[in-house]
Amino acid sequence: ETGVTQTPRHLVMGMTNKKSLKCEQHLGHNAMYWYKQSAKKPLELMFVYNFKEQTENNSVPSRFSPECPNSSHLFLHLHTLQPEDSALYLCASSQDTGWTEAFFGQGTRLTVV
């Protein structure tokens, strides 16, 4: 167990639904990340938070809305998604930004119908 927990593990939602993904880490890390993993594609960095402040938005559509209320929790709010948004969404944390190991959660498998 690496200390990064994501819920739910699986989510099926319609295109008009609103849902949220949750990530929690108790490693004392200061940086948290959202990645998207699609089949046969590189891991795509979506958002970066450092000390609760968003430091990176990698041209992500506004239908994805992150929230970081504290250094231990990270949310990804979803609304009006498209079928092509179906993917594995991975949360990760690291001690700080820079050359430190990223610890990943097990991901949320999202299916948009």
Partner 1 sequence: GENVEQHPSTLSVQEGDSAVIKCTYSDSASNYFPWYKQELGKRPQLIIDIRSNVGEKKDQRIAVTLNKTAKHFSLHITETQPEDSAVYFCAASANDYKLSFGAGTTVTVRA
Work out whether 98 is an interface residue with partner 1 (CB under 8 A): yes
Work out whether 66 is an interface residue with partner 1 (CB under 8 A): no
The number of residues in the chain equals: 113
The distance between the two most distant Cα atoms of the chain, rounded to a whole number of Å, is 39
In sequence order, what are the beta bridge partners of 92?
33, 104
Work out whether 50 is an interface residue with partner 1 (CB under 8 A): yes
- The whole-angstrom distance between residue 45's C-alpha and the CA centroid of its chain comes to 9
Binder among 90, 108, 110, 112 for partner 1 (CB under 8 A): 90
Give the residues lining the site for partner 1 (CB under 8 A).
2, 4, 31, 33, 40-43, 45, 48, 50, 55-56, 90, 94, 97-99, 101-102, 104-107
